[in-house]
Amino acid sequence: MISHRENNAQRIAALDEQAEALRLRPGMGIAEARAMHPSIDVAEAEPEADRRLLESLADWCDRYTPLVAIDGENGLFLDITGCAHLFGGEKALLADLMARFFHQGFDVRSGLASTPGAAWAAARFAAGQIIAPGSERNFFARLPLSALRLDPKTKTSLESVGLRTVGAIMDGPRAPLVRRFGATLIERLDQGLGRLEEAISPRLPVAPLSVERHLADPLSLIEEVERLVGLLAATLKVDLERREEGARMLELLLFRVDGMVSRITVGASRPIREAVLIRKLFHERLTALGETIDAGCGFDLVRLSALSTARFDARQGDLAGEVEDDGEGLAIFADRVTARLGEAAVLEPVPAESHLPERAAAVVSFAQEENRKALAGKARRSPVNQPGRLERPIRLFRAPEPIDVPLTEVPEGPPPHFRWRRALHRVTRAEGPERIAPEWWRDGAEAPTRDYYRVEDADGRRYWLYRQGLYGAQAAAPRWFLHGVFA
């Protein structure tokens, strides 16, 4: 027996068959139940754990249909339209589902109908029954009001006037029922009877393309899984070629015999459809996951899906069969490294719309080709990134580092020497200043101005430093920072 706290009291949340035989019921207080049967076992409910279990069952049900939705705290909706013939029909699919749940140790109730409302009622009030299309009215007529998924207040109000079955609602006049009990009552009734369409919102997006393989002998070795990925990728390539597309995001689903499901996702910076490339990406990802993928008793279903696709522009080779490399080799290398080490492993700087040096470039993942192109194109149109800009250092620090500078001979001029990282540097040559105004729309109107200087010390090393603020323009004295080095 499972208990939960409700209104500062411990009450029964769920019962097993033995507890039901003792005439205990959900909602009864634990103290009252113990007074009747002192030997009962009570466990505290764990809603989060129950939710995770329900989500894992929803993942497993993907083997029957990709359209799986979670219904409340203990139910699942499966839209098997167009999928039943793959399992020998609706009856065979339902039998297979129930048998697998039973062998996994779950006691479930199922129902099958042409409407979600009728299937919900069949699972809870006529377990295992298949409601034929057109017979929903006869099925609902003898059921209690709970079969319509009404809220407790509406159900109690209906019972108080003698309406205790769905048949009594169907035979009554609609207008008075709506005025007294609300439009939801008739809406639920019409949804169950199929007069009003009710959509099922799947918990995960449906992949536009998928290929799978049911295995009589479950796979237990990762090498076997990789080999099967290559075969599935070859089949997927045919569908991608027909659509003139390539895959940008691929997902591998491994269904274990005991019900566990592993989801492995890889991305590509460019659309791909060659089976060899797809297999290499998953090889890197599976190698990175290592022992975290537990085959258990083996995988009896393997599915490869293209979650995201894009137009694939085929290129014509020359007479020797060679195709000009436009960065494809680099993209494949980056994709393999990303698959093994994550998206943050390969980054690329792109120009950004800002005239402050530390904001003039943004670092994005190499796999995000659209973002890189969009940022680069936008920055190229910005005046601050047009050709003819002044020279910038080879190495720009992530954040400017403060330096000690004595009073300069000319207040607005470069420093004669400065101390950086405990070392004193004597300036022999200097160029500047290059004045960079603050971005007042981001930093505020009081942000100080920067005067940048390119200086060279006595050892020939060149630095890029700036003075933040102007002498006499503010109460505090200006500060000096080193922002980069040229060589």
The pLDDT tens digits of the residues spanning 44-85 come to 888 899 999 999 999 999 999 999 999 988 899 999 998 999
What pLDDT shows up at residue 384? Answer: 47
What pLDDT shows up at residue 249? Answer: 93
What pLDDT shows up at residue 224? Answer: 94
Residue carrying the six token digits 């995201």: 308
Work out the mean pLDDT of the chain and round it to a whole number. Answer: 87
pTM, to two decimals: 0.75
**Looking at the predicted structure, is the pLDDT value of residue 235 above 90?**
yes
> What is the distance between the alpha carbons of residues 233 and 172, in angstroms, rounded to a whole number?
58
What pLDDT shows up at residue 53? Answer: 93
> What is the distance between the alpha carbons of residues 189 and 182, in angstroms, rounded to a whole number?
12
Q: What is the pLDDT of residues 346-375, one digit of tens each?
A: 888 788 888 888 888 878 887 766 655 655
What pLDDT shows up at residue 16? Answer: 84
Q: What is the pLDDT of residues 300-326, one digit of tens each?
A: 999 999 999 999 887 665 556 565 556
Q: What mean pLDDT is predicted for residues 319-336?
A: 73
Determine how β-strand 75-78 pairs with β-strand 450-457.
Answer: unpaired
Quickly state the pLDDT bin for 32 (edges 50, 70, 90): confident
What pLDDT shows up at residue 23? Answer: 85
What pLDDT shows up at residue 313? Answer: 80
Quickly state the pLDDT bin for 387 (edges 50, 70, 90): very low
Beta bridge partners of 404: 419
With a CB cutoff of 8 Å and minimum separation 6, the contacts of 323 are 315, 316, 317
What's the Rg (C-alpha) of the chain?
34
Q: What is the dihedral of CA 362, 367, 368, 373, to 10 degrees?
A: 70
Q: What mean pLDDT is predicted for residues 195-207?
A: 90
Q: What mean pLDDT is predicted for residues 87-109?
A: 92
Q: What is the pLDDT of residues 408-452, one digit of tens each?
A: 766 778 899 999 999 999 999 999 899 998 888 888 888 889 999
**Looking at the predicted structure, is the pLDDT value of residue 473 above 90?**
no
Quickly state the pLDDT bin for 453 (edges 50, 70, 90): very high
**Looking at the predicted structure, is the pLDDT value of residue 278 above 90?**
yes
Q: What mean pLDDT is predicted for residues 119-134?
A: 92
